[in-house]
Structure 1
Amino acid sequence: MIVNQSDNFVIKAPAEFSFKENMRYIGRSPNECMFEIQDNKIIRLIPALDETLLVEISENSDGNLLIRFLEKTYPISKKVREEVQLYIRDWFDLDTDLKPFYEMAKNDLLLQKSIVEFYGLRNIGIPDLFEAIAWGILGQQINLTYAYTLKRRLVETFGSQVEWKGHQYWIFPEAKDIAELTVEDLAPLKMTVKKCEYLIGVAKLIAEGSLSKSLIMGTGDFKEAEKMLVNIRGIGPWTANYVLMRCLRFPNAFPIADVGLHNAIKHVTGAKEKPTKEEIMELAAPWKGWESYVTFYLWRHLY
């Protein structure tokens, strides 16, 4: 639901939503380059059709999201305004009903503490497919801190930006632009040759139209969607499930081999050793249909 307020608008948030909790999550890295947090407000560029809008997202007194367009980036049409709303709803996953998840989790010994401590946390998404896959590729086999550094280098070298009040706000590079590059063009970013090749390869698939969100969703089946992604060079099961979880919103996406997930389970259970795959599968039996949210909530213990 959207409520207009002159040049601003309000997005009604579900009861199971905490702006404060989601702000804690998105503010976890001081090296984030896609948005800025100032005075409990998020400022970021949002692509909408052929426009780029600089918006401020905050919480109003009713617990809903107040969206304000900044400077000269007011949308020129109602359709663009609606696209901005859809982007924000997707980013915060506002259309997922979390009541069944909380009902399931309150009876799960591993999740009981998580849903109390992080109540209202949403699976913060990555609406753009190329950005989601690129982030998955960048993060392969390195720590999160360095992954953020690589993302910043990529964005600030090949992305576009708007300056406002002395700050630069960036849009992630478009697939069509990365598709035209060579490995040598990406060399100054200091990532492996393989990652450079993977990024360019994925960018070319998206730019030529042979890979898109609609094509993946059109499979109508999680396993088929996973297979489509895994068949792409540079995308293994972890990256595929990460993208299916954060971008395509498959609720049963489950990066079971994720080291962070293993560490989170070890932390919550107080175990001396990380769990085996077999142990995780046993724990996951009651999670069917909510694996992506379980993963996201368990990850939250690490930040």
Structure 2
Amino acid sequence: MAISYSGYLNLPHGFRSHDILAFHDRDSEQTAERVNYSKNLLEKGILWQGMPACLILQFKKKQQVAITLLAEGGKDVSELEILPIVQRMLGLNQDIDDFEKAHYRHPQLGTLVKKQAGLRVPLSSTPFEALAWAITGQQISLAAAISIRRKLIKALGITHSCGLYCHPNAEVITQLGQDKLHQVGYSKTKAKTLFNLSRGVIENTLPLDDWLTQQTPVEEISKKLIEVPGIGPWTISYGLLRGYSWLNGSLHGDAGVRRGLQKLLGLESKVTAEEAEKWLAPFTPWRALVAAHLWMSL
């Protein structure tokens, strides 16, 4: 098993490694991610330059994370290639200090900000993975979305020698086709949406990775994504949060956000999407980060 990269990355004081591990530990069968809390260890199956790979992150006591990439059939990987990916996955580019300074005295949200100080939003390994998950999770429970994602990954059968399945890229999805997507649990509408997203990536009409490296404005990305039938405001806001670290998406339609807000405000009745949107509005440019605090409070 060749080591393509091995190195360390320094972490800020009080970094919440448990949040990262928990985000990648949602699949109880550990299909494409394997988490060991006692060792502060995450192993994630990915495709690196189209080849199966295993990304290993082990959080150390001295505010460091050890990074190892095991790529099959690949060449050595430089820091310039791997570190930006890990930094983004760990949320290290998120402006949480200014957010906490601005809102730790807020009469309602301030309680969560103090209790959950240092909270960052964990990201997917690629923008495509984030958007694929957002499409998978549209209007269904978390458990159902996890099950469909697991079936998809297993159906494709791309494995690394470490024993993990690898999350597919756009090329693999297009080869699979809409009918197979439907067979593993996607509705016909979602199958078409995911297929069209994948085809857009392949045809470069939706250059997700280029948008990331070129720091394309969110407004331009959103305008392109909304043209894909089946992709709406929630999918865009969630996909941009988990894929591009955009902290200002308004996730007011998210059921978890509304439950968290109901709990925070001590309300007996459910919070509507309109009420959540109005409540989140003053927290611009951190509305999605506020949503993450509400998720965590549950």
TM range (shorter): 0.7 to 0.9
| Residue 30 of structure 1: aligned partner | 28
Provide the C-alpha distance between the structure 1 equivalents of 2:277 and 2:230, rounded to a whole number of angstroms.
26
Deviation at 1:232, TM superposition (A): 0.8
Letter in 2 for 1:151: R
Give the conservation status (yes or no) of the 8 Å contact 2:46–2:55.
yes
Deviation at 1:221, TM superposition (A): 4.0
| Residue 76 of structure 1: aligned partner | 75
| Residue 89 of structure 1: aligned partner | 87
Listed as ranges, the gaps of 5+ residues in structure 1 are 1-6
Indicate yes or no: 2:37 matched with 1:41. no
Name the CA shift for 1:32/1:234 in 2 (closer, same or farther; >3 Å).
farther
Deviation at 1:83, TM superposition (A): 2.1
| Residue 194 of structure 2: aligned partner | 199
Indicate yes or no: 2:237 matched with 1:238. no
Provide the C-alpha distance between the structure 2 equivalents of 1:131 and 1:248, rounded to a whole number of angstroms.
11
Indicate yes or no: 2:117 matched with 1:122. no
Name the CA shift for 1:127/1:22 in 2 (closer, same or farther; >3 Å).
closer
Give the conservation status (yes or no) of the 8 Å contact 2:127–2:242.
no
Name the CA shift for 1:191/1:277 in 2 (closer, same or farther; >3 Å).
closer
- TM-score if structure 2 supplies the norm length? 0.87
- Report the secondary structure of 1:172's partner residue: coil
Name the CA shift for 1:47/1:94 in 2 (closer, same or farther; >3 Å).
farther
Provide the C-alpha distance between the structure 2 equivalents of 1:131 and 1:21, rounded to a whole number of angstroms.
19
Provide the C-alpha distance between the structure 1 equivalents of 2:46 and 2:259, rounded to a whole number of angstroms.
34
Name the CA shift for 1:8/1:206 in 2 (closer, same or farther; >3 Å).
closer
Name the CA shift for 1:231/1:74 in 2 (closer, same or farther; >3 Å).
closer
Which is further off, 152-161 or 222-231?
Answer: 222-231
Listed as ranges, the gaps of 5+ residues in structure 2 are none
Q: How many positions carry a matched residue from both structures?
A: 291
Give CA-to-partner distance per residue, 1:69-98, whole Å, 9 cap, x none: 56x86973342x542222211111112232
Provide the C-alpha distance between the structure 2 equivalents of 1:36 and 1:170, rounded to a whole number of angstroms.
10
- Report the secondary structure of 2:122's partner residue: coil
Name the CA shift for 1:116/1:139 in 2 (closer, same or farther; >3 Å).
same
Provide the C-alpha distance between the structure 2 equivalents of 1:278 and 1:291, rounded to a whole number of angstroms.
14
Deviation at 1:172, TM superposition (A): 1.4
| Residue 171 of structure 1: aligned partner | 166
Provide the C-alpha distance between the structure 2 equivalents of 1:58 and 1:45, rounded to a whole number of angstroms.
15
Name the CA shift for 1:140/1:50 in 2 (closer, same or farther; >3 Å).
closer
2:129 corresponds to which of 128, 131, 147: 131
Letter in 1 for 2:126: D
Name the CA shift for 1:282/1:238 in 2 (closer, same or farther; >3 Å).
closer
Give the conservation status (yes or no) of the 8 Å contact 1:245–1:254.
no
Provide the C-alpha distance between the structure 1 equivalents of 2:222 and 2:122, rounded to a whole number of angstroms.
20
| Residue 143 of structure 2: aligned partner | 145
- Report the secondary structure of 2:291's partner residue: helix
Name the CA shift for 1:137/1:208 in 2 (closer, same or farther; >3 Å).
same
Deviation at 1:23, TM superposition (A): 2.6
Name the CA shift for 1:273/1:216 in 2 (closer, same or farther; >3 Å).
farther
- Report the secondary structure of 2:192's partner residue: helix
Which is further off, 177-186 or 94-103?
Answer: 177-186
Give the conservation status (yes or no) of the 8 Å contact 1:129–1:212.
no
Give CA-to-partner distance per residue, 1:186-214, whole Å, 9 cap, x none: 23313211111111111111111110225
| Residue 257 of structure 2: aligned partner | 261
| Residue 229 of structure 1: aligned partner | 225
Name the CA shift for 1:173/1:13 in 2 (closer, same or farther; >3 Å).
same
Deviation at 1:241, TM superposition (A): 0.9
| Residue 275 of structure 2: aligned partner | 279
Give the conservation status (yes or no) of the 8 Å contact 2:46–2:52.
yes
Provide the C-alpha distance between the structure 1 equivalents of 2:209 and 2:55, rounded to a whole number of angstroms.
26
Give CA-to-partner distance per residue, 1:8-37, whole Å, 9 cap, x none: 421111225221343344334424533101
- TM-score if structure 1 supplies the norm length? 0.85
Over the aligned positions, Cα root-mean-square deviation in angstroms equals 2.6
Name the CA shift for 1:94/1:187 in 2 (closer, same or farther; >3 Å).
same
Name the CA shift for 1:105/1:41 in 2 (closer, same or farther; >3 Å).
same
Provide the C-alpha distance between the structure 1 equivalents of 2:131 and 2:210, rounded to a whole number of angstroms.
15
Provide the C-alpha distance between the structure 1 equivalents of 2:30 and 2:232, rounded to a whole number of angstroms.
25
- Among the aligned pairs, what percent are the same residue? 23
